Amino acid sequence: MGKNPVWSWYIIWYFFVGGVAAGAYVTAAFADFFGRKEDRQLAKVGFAIAFPLVLICSILLILDLGVPGRALNMFRLFNWSSPMSVGSWVLLGFGLVSLVSLILVLWDRRGAWRIRRVLAIPGALFGLFIASYTGVLLGATNRPIWAANNWIGPLFLVSALSTGVAALALFSARAKLTGFRQVHLFATGFEALLLVLFLQSLGAGATLFLTGSFAPLFWGGVVAAGLAIPFGFAFLPRGRAVEAVAAILVLAGGLALRYLVVTGGQT
Amino acid sequence: MAKAILVDTSKCIGCRGCQVACKQWHGLEAEPTAFRGSYENPPDLSARTWRKVKFIETAKQDGATRWRFLSDACKHCTDASCLAVCPTGALFHRPWGAVDLDQEICNGCRYCVSACPFGVITFNERTGRVDKCILCPDRVEAGLAPACVTTCPTGALSFGDRDQLLGRAKERVVQLRAKGEKGAELYGERELSGLHVLYVLQERPQVYGLPEKPRFAAASVFPGFLMSAVASVVMGVVALVAFRERGGRGEE
């Protein structure tokens, strides 16, 4: 068993904010490619918020290392067997692509849309990686809860997409979100399934979340706020307030999930 | 030629000479400790204690206490989890097998700390980097044995070519079993494709706090990414259908 790495709030917030950035960008890319005009309007928001969020991510990671210059050592080499190494490079790539996407949203001339769409292909691939690699990283350790667990990557991925859509919903003035809502509705169900598979894979270890000291946050945060209540809201008459409350609950649930999984492996 | 340390627990008397020699050679500070009901001290390997003797109290058949000792430090694995997950290249293999650590390159990410199956590598709060036994490469490459081995007064620790030590360890296990030590066994020959610290144990590995099947942390990287890729494809198809269903592609 490895010692406790003491990954605390900087890392928890990074996992969460990185997921929101990636989730918003990826759904924006799909909306821009396949969606209708109002979907594409909202896609612009996704392209625009990704870069500032990635910037916050890098600040969080640098703060975690303590000595700022040391962050550059992540780019001395490329190590395939280290999700952290691959993740550092992809985060750099995602940051650069999302910066250009942001510029192309601000500089919205004829033709910008075409470049933005082409750029969204590598951007979405990077985004899907950023959304999930943090979970794979935890699996490649020798800590309880995390070790050899292959469900955390998919779980974080799907949660990232649903928190990404939630962030977009907060920014949309009107609630013409049908495509996004469908993605989110499916993600909620898929996340619930992955959560069950994750807990099942933990065996007796799952009691930490189900009945142990983490249970209130698990049931209240991840299950109720993140999944059940927003799912129920989907059947309420649509309105700006309902939309916003659901989005905030989904974001809170996503943060609770990161907190529980990251802290769970360190108790 | 791969080198190794052989730890013969049956010859260890728990003098802690190795523990002190390690501190002296590497200039590691003393550790303030408190009595916690055992002669074993300090309780765990740390950034300033790279080698320590474990004092394990087991019961004989008549109920009397029997001591088991284990000079414990980094095992210098061939499939080293710490090294595999290190994003900076600070951890690296010496050609003769040691898992060395370049302090200038380590950036304190602590991934290795969580990955080591033996709980060896530790974060150093003072330097903001990690620390562990590096198998005295300065001594070994000058033709000497590591400081701990040099100081050992009983021959419980020896250093040399791994193949040769492996032969000696196997002989020793046979010898101990013949003497009635039925629990004698070798640890480190095949674990993680071979450790560069071999152990002749007198009890099951768990008794010494050694995992019976230490796991290579990076073995989960490929399946983890594969599962994530499958989930990505599922979500991608859903997003495609969700946006496309509503039709209306075309120029802005």
Please tell me the predicted confidence (pLDDT) of residue A3.
Answer: 95
- CATH code of the domain covering residue B116: 3.30.70.20
Whether residue B116 lies inside any domain: the answer is yes
Based on C-alpha coordinates, what's the Rg of chain B? 23
Whether residue B246 lies inside any domain: the answer is no
Using the beta-carbon criterion (under 8 Å), do B90 and A73 form an inter-chain contact? yes
pLDDT digits (tens, 9 = 90+) for B90-117: 999 999 999 999 999 999 999 999 999 9
Q: Please give the tally of structural domains in chain A.
A: 1
- Number of neighbours of residue A177 by Cβ within 10 angstroms: 20
Minimal CA–CA distance to B217: which of B129, B127, B113? B113
**A39: which chain B residues are within 8 Å (Cβ-Cβ)?**
243, 246
Whether residue A3 lies inside any domain: the answer is no
Structural domain that includes position B79: 3-217
Residue in this structure with the two tokens 């990077």, named with its chain if needed: A126
- Touching check for A1 and chain B: CB below 8 Å? yes
Of B87, B89, B116, the CB nearest to A2: B116
Whether residue A220 lies inside any domain: the answer is yes
Please tell me the predicted confidence (pLDDT) of residue B247.
Answer: 52
Q: Please give the tally of structural domains in chain B.
A: 1
Cα(B243)–Cα(B128) distance, integer angstroms: 48
Please tell me the predicted confidence (pLDDT) of residue B174.
Answer: 98
pLDDT tens by residue, chain A, 267 residues: 999 999 999 999 999 999 999 999 999 999 999 988 888 888 999 999 999 999 999 999 999 999 999 999 999 999 999 999 999 999 999 999 999 999 999 998 888 888 999 999 999 999 999 999 999 999 999 999 999 999 999 999 999 999 999 999 888 755 456 788 889 999 999 999 999 999 999 999 999 999 999 999 999 999 999 999 999 987 887 777 888 899 999 999 999 999 999 999 998
**A137: which chain B residues are within 8 Å (Cβ-Cβ)?**
111
- Number of neighbours of residue A229 by Cβ within 10 angstroms: 15
Whether residue B104 lies inside any domain: the answer is yes
- CATH code of the domain covering residue A22: 1.20.1630.10
**A6: which chain B residues are within 8 Å (Cβ-Cβ)?**
110, 123
pLDDT digits (tens, 9 = 90+) for A18-30: 999 999 999 999 9
Please tell me the predicted confidence (pLDDT) of residue B250.
Answer: 45
A9's enclosing H/E stretch is helix A9-34
Structural domain that includes position A19: 9-264
Q: Which residues are CB-neighbours of A114 under 8 A, at least 6 positions away?
A: none
Question: Concatenated DSSP letters for A198-239?
Answer: HHHHHGGGGHHHHTSTTHHHIIIIIIIIIIIHHHHHTTSPP-
Cross-strand pairs, B46: B49
Using the beta-carbon criterion (under 8 Å), do B113 and A157 form an inter-chain contact? no
Q: What per-residue string of b and e applies to A200-228 under the rule 16 or more CB within 10 Å gives b? A: eebeebbebbeeeebeebbeebbbbbbbb
CA dihedral defined by A233, A236, A237, A239, rounded to 10 degrees?
-20
- Number of neighbours of residue A138 by Cβ within 10 angstroms: 26
Give whole-number Cα distances, B2 to B22, B50, B51, B82, B140, in Å: 22, 22, 21, 19, 12
A83's enclosing H/E stretch is helix A83-106
Whether residue B143 lies inside any domain: the answer is yes
Whether residue A17 lies inside any domain: the answer is yes
**DSSP conformational letter for B142:** T
Q: Residue B129 in contact with residue B106, Cβ under 8 Å?
A: yes
Whether residue A109 lies inside any domain: the answer is yes
Q: Which residues are CB-neighbours of B52 under 8 A, at least 6 positions away?
A: B16, B19, B40, B41, B42, B44, B45, B71, B72, B73
Whether residue A44 lies inside any domain: the answer is yes
Instruction: Say if residue B252's pLDDT is above 70.
Output: no
Give whole-number Cα distances, B51 to B13, B116, B147, in Å: 15, 16, 11
End-to-end Cα separation, chain B, in angstroms:
67
SS3 content of chain A, % helix, strand, coil (to 5): 80, 0, 20
- Touching check for A19 and chain B: CB below 8 Å? no
Using the beta-carbon criterion (under 8 Å), do B219 and A148 form an inter-chain contact? yes
Whether residue A2 lies inside any domain: the answer is no
Please tell me the predicted confidence (pLDDT) of residue B176.
Answer: 98
B157's enclosing H/E stretch is strand B157-161
- Touching check for A176 and chain B: CB below 8 Å? no
Please tell me the predicted confidence (pLDDT) of residue A176.
Answer: 58
User: Which chain B residue's Cα is nearest to A10?
Assistant: B109
Give the per-residue SS3 of B83-126.
Answer: HHHCCCCCEEECCCCCEEECCCCCCCCCHHHHHCCCCCCEEECC
Cα(A94)–Cα(B208) distance, integer angstroms: 46
Give whole-number Cα distances, B84 to A79, A240, B99, B218, B242, in Å: 8, 49, 11, 6, 40
Whether residue B187 lies inside any domain: the answer is yes
Average pLDDT of the segment spanning B125-154: 98
Cα(B221)–Cα(B236) distance, integer angstroms: 22
Whether residue A4 lies inside any domain: the answer is no
- Touching check for A171 and chain B: CB below 8 Å? no
B231 vs A171, higher pLDDT:
B231
pLDDT band at B59 (very low <50, low <70, confident <90, very high): confident
Q: Which residues are CB-neighbours of B187 under 8 A, at least 6 positions away?
A: B195, B198, B199, B200, B201, B205, B210
Mean pLDDT of chain B: 95
